[in-house]
Every structure is written in structure tokens, then in C-alpha cells.
Amino acid sequence: MDLKISGNVIDILQEQSGESKNGPWRKRDFILETPGKYPKKVCITQWGDNIDKQPVEKGATLTVFIDISSREYKGNWYTDVKAWKVEQGTGEGKPPPPSAPGLTSEGNQEYEYPDEEEYPF
């Protein structure tokens, strides 16, 4: 299942870095605000080389493909929203391809059914 979220970048937090047993690491969080009547603010984390390969700018409109994971620590649960792909724009420019012949992107069948008299049963 692909999870994605679209919105405007309203803030970019300072990059963090450090050393772990697996070597150096770096991450940067940004805040994405979703459109709509009740907009939501979501803190999304970019890790490692994705920070440079998929740049994020304040004020940009993005579609972000995400993984959501939770972990428990000393009886409390923490949830991370990690970006694995960032695209400029809302991703709504191209409709998905139809899944079957005659199926439109709106999901309606473009098929004319025969008259009931033509059915063999």
C-alpha cells in the first residue's frame, strides 16, 4: 500500500546529525499543511541522501510518499512519518490509467448493454 500526502511546506526544521553503531546519520524534518476546510499539519522526516536528492523548499506544494511507524519506549508510544519519495506539485495532474478496457479514470464503464431481448437466457 502506498501512502502519500499532499500539501504546502510551511516550515523546514534544522537538520540533525550524529553517529550510531551503524555509522553517521542525518535527518531533517519539515512541516506539511494539507489543504481543505480543516487543514492538518504533519511533521515529516527525510533521512540521509534523500535530503539532497529530493530537496524541499518552504512554500512549495508537494506530494510526499510516506511510511508510518510507531515504537514503544518506556511505556510511551512514538510515531514517525518518514518520506521515501518527494514530488513537486499535488500529483493530481495525470489521472491513473484505467484498470480495464472501457473503464474511464472516473470509474464509469463506457459500455452499451444490449437490449434484454438479445440475451440468450
Contact 87, 63 (CB under 8 A): yes
Residues 56-115: tens digit of each pLDDT: 999 999 999 999 999 999 999 999 999 999 998 876 655 444 444 544 444 444 445 455
HSE, side-chain direction, 13 A CA sphere, residue 77: 4
What radius of gyration do the chain's Cα atoms show?
22
What class is the 3-91 domain? mainly beta
- Which pTM value belongs to this model? 0.70
Q: What is the maximum span of the chain, computed from C-alpha positions, in angstroms? A: 76
Residues 6-58: tens digit of each pLDDT: 999 999 999 999 998 989 999 999 999 999 999 999 999 999 999 999 999 99
pLDDT at 120 over 90: no
HSE, side-chain direction, 13 A CA sphere, residue 79: 7
pLDDT at residue 89 in the model: 83
pLDDT at residue 121 in the model: 43
Of the chain, the percentage scoring pLDDT greater than 90 comes to: 68
